[in-house]
Amino acid sequence: MENRLNIFRPEEPMDFGRRIKILKERKLEETKVKSKMKVYQDGDDYGSVPAPEDYKFHCLPNHENGSWYGYEGWSKNFHKLMSEHPVYIDSVDAFSCRWMYSMIWFDEKSPAKGLNWNPDYSYDHLKPEQEKYGIVSGIGSDAHFGGDYELGLSLGWGGLLEKLAAYREKNPGHDEFYDAEELVIQGVQNWMRRAIEEAERLAEKERHPLLRENLLQMAQVNRNILSGAPKTMREACQWVCWFNMASRTYNRDGAGFQLDQVLKRYYDADLAAGRITREEAVFYIACLLLNDPHYYQIGGTDEEGNSLLSEFSDMVLEGADMLDSACNITVRVDRNMDRDFLHRAVDYLFKNRNGWPRFSGDEALNDGFMRLGYPESLARKRIAVGCHWMSLPGMEYCLNDCVKINCAKVLEVALDEMMAGRGPYSTARLWEIYEKHMARAVEVTAEGIAFHLKYQQYNEPELLLNLISHGPVEKGLDMTCGGAMYYNMCMDGTAIATVADSFGALEQRVEKESRLSWEELYKHLKTDFKEEGGEIVRRMLSSSPRYGGGDTVSDRWAKRLSESYSGQVRAISKSYPNYEFIPGWFSWSNTIVLGKQVGATPNGRHAFEPINHGANPHPGFRKDGALTAMSNSICAIQPGFGNTAPVQLELDPGMGRGEEAVQKIADYILTLFQKGGTLLNINIIDSRQILEADKDPDKYPDLVVRVTGFTAYFCSLTPEFRKLVVDRILVQGGA
């Protein structure tokens, strides 16, 4: 994309509102282009811009297969890319540049070529059982933990270089680590220098006086933070932009920070010195979110339990509203939260219908994390900075959202084993076999995580996030292999509704009602209900009382499943004294992929169809789609150790935006979290509009939906992903 200038008359008004409107229009243009490019599809909005068609990155391989690995490979290729990455400057924006590429997208790293993991460190011995149980192992997964931005902001790039030099002296024998980290910073600084030059060049040509001055200020801000630490809010936001863009380019990292705490001190200082106005600060927030809609949190409490809400928290919401785009802000709801603020946050959800903000439950998350033995003061520091996950900024390595066990696959293995033997058959016997296989699935998953932690430094070290974490620089060790303070490893279960409904249907239809035998059931499953009478059997099974229906037989199975799974995940930690394994229930978009691993299931699901979404019931869980029943069911199966089992809620805008609707949802949020809920995602979308957009996505280029833990422009989703969202919305809408 070309740089933008010389399109406005010198006398044309250019206030902050006008500038954001222009930036939003350009973003939609860029999104249309990106929606046709595979690397940008089915993921977060990112804030990136399409790359020039004539640019091609040529890597510096350090392996015979033509790819790059380890400290040397990643640092040299990142430095090379930073030194030639196209510079994008928009004279209307407050901040320099946008990112265009992620190194994990380049052909040399394509999973299709089998080069996404260093082949010198084989885990073939783990693959048979990983496949058997449908395990997403997390081996080779990157980012998915949160850095401490305050660390980087306090030092600046120059201060980080000085810190590296100081600790290099204290840790002889770790030169490879320090060489790589220094090269990474020097690469970012190269990109910044070229942006400074470009902004000054554009300023000479810019006809509009305000925009010309903006370009000159942009150049000076970057010159100030090239080596020095930021001193103003604009400098702090620009530093954050650079880190975000660099980290996205490196490995797509998207974890943000406590936005209303970290930036507030810069705003307060600027305001006291007369350097900024409130309107200007809101504009900066809007431009920061335009640059990249990272996962940011507002609200919650500090270590002592004092509320973090302030006028600046409202300004964050105002900036997001000003931009009116895809956004990933989470409002942390604590027991003493200001009700007026909560109402304002919900009102923005109704006003923009872009799936933001979402809401997290402070009490359940803190209590769960404390069950691991951590103090409450530390639990309060663990914030929402990912799709469904929490992280201690700069202290915790966790692989959140990267590790999944397909519980529906485990059920299939267990049922096959039971039916291969001589009876008697029963849900009690099936449960016994299921628990045995789940225990082994957890063991195999833990083995994979341990393998990743041992060898990821030789595959893809975390060179950007290391810089804003506590430990790696001090020890000369990557976050993945000893650099972190805490290793709280995520292990998500999936398909809880699929499995609970299956056990429920077996108990109800086979055992209690004797409407078909185990042999008949198994035959219909293996023929995907396609033989004579199969569809009748399928409907009979699928009409059994479901998880989400409200204290049904399947609800009781779901609670049993969750308690058993959490116990097994926590038990495996005893075998790994340096790690804590933490259970959660979340599938992300793996609902499609994991569904394709499993044949027909006893809940009436056809072979290879998607499993249920996260902790939500399957569509059709109850004829009236009762919200209270569904929410109670999800609260009842929370894993209880600081990770989430989110509620995904789809609402029809027919309920209106008025005070009554806002009050109703605000009350629902408070009730949900009082009952133990941990995270709430909400879409407010017209079912008619979503159907039209599914037929012709280009007809609604500005339609934003919350896909799962992230928001995205609907036009950027592939047909398969769109169906996932559409089906969910059509069934739940108006619940």
User: Which tokens is 595 given?
Assistant: 């569904």
* pLDDT, position 112: 46
b (16+ CB within 10 A) / e for 209-218: ebbbebbbeb
What value does the mean pLDDT take over residues 555-569? Answer: 98
Distance of CA 295 to the CA centre of its chain: 7
Tell me the C-alpha distance between 27 and 158, whole Å: 32
Q: Which of 232 and 4 is assigned the larger pLDDT?
A: 232
Q: By C-alpha distance, which of 410, 370, 404 is closest to 584? A: 404
**Does residue 41 register a pLDDT over 90?**
no
Tell me the C-alpha distance between 149 and 238, whole Å: 12
Phi, psi torsion values for 352, nearest 5 degrees:
-95, -25
Q: By C-alpha distance, which of 479, 482, 447, 456 is closest to 576? A: 447
Whole-number average pLDDT of the chain = 94
DSSP character string of 248-288: HHHH---EEEEHHHHTHHHHHHHHHHT---HHHHHHHHHHH
Per-residue pLDDT tens over the stretch 534-561: 999 999 999 999 999 999 999 999 999 9
Task: Identify the three-state secondary structure at position 226.
Answer: coil
* Residue 732 pLDDT level (bands cut at 50, 70, 90): low
**Does residue 115 register a pLDDT over 60?**
no
Tell me the C-alpha distance between 546 and 552, whole Å: 6
Cβ atoms within 10 Å of 200's Cβ, excluding its own: 15
Tell me the C-alpha distance between 556 and 563, whole Å: 11
Least confident of 1-15, 20-34, 386-400, 674-688: 1-15
Task: Identify the three-state secondary structure at position 7.
Answer: coil
* Residue 734 pLDDT level (bands cut at 50, 70, 90): very low
Q: By C-alpha distance, which of 70, 72, 142 is closest to 104? A: 142
What is the SS3 assignment for 122-162? CCCCCHHHHHHCCEECCCCCCCCCCCCHHHHHHHHHHHHHH
**Does residue 283 register a pLDDT over 50?**
yes
* pLDDT, position 622: 76
Contact 181, 68 (CB under 8 A): no
* pLDDT, position 5: 53
DSSP character string of 354-393: SS--EEEEHHHHHHHHHTTT--HHHHTT-EE-SSS-EE-T
**Does residue 624 register a pLDDT over 80?**
no
**Does residue 515 register a pLDDT over 90?**
yes
Distance of CA 243 to the CA centre of its chain: 18
Q: Give Dmax over CA atoms of the chain in angstroms.
A: 87
* Residue 257 pLDDT level (bands cut at 50, 70, 90): very high
* pLDDT, position 651: 87
Please, how many CA atoms are within 13 Å of residue 207, restricted to the half-sphere of its CB? 9
**Does residue 199 register a pLDDT over 90?**
yes
**Does residue 106 register a pLDDT over 60?**
yes
Per-residue pLDDT tens over the stretch 164-187: 999 999 999 999 999 999 999 999
* pLDDT, position 685: 85
**Does residue 267 register a pLDDT over 50?**
yes
b (16+ CB within 10 A) / e for 429-450: bbbebbbebbbbbbebbbbbbe
Per-residue pLDDT tens over the stretch 301-360: 999 999 999 999 999 999 999 999 999 999 999 999 999 999 999 999 999 999 999 999
* Residue 44 pLDDT level (bands cut at 50, 70, 90): confident
Pairing of strands 390-391, 383-384: antiparallel
* pLDDT, position 518: 98
* pLDDT, position 4: 59
Phi, psi torsion values for 718, nearest 5 degrees:
-75, 160
Task: Identify the three-state secondary structure at position 239.
Answer: helix
Phi, psi torsion values for 502, nearest 5 degrees:
-70, -50
Per-residue pLDDT tens over the stretch 639-697: 999 999 999 998 887 766 789 999 999 999 999 999 999 999 999 988 888 999 999 99
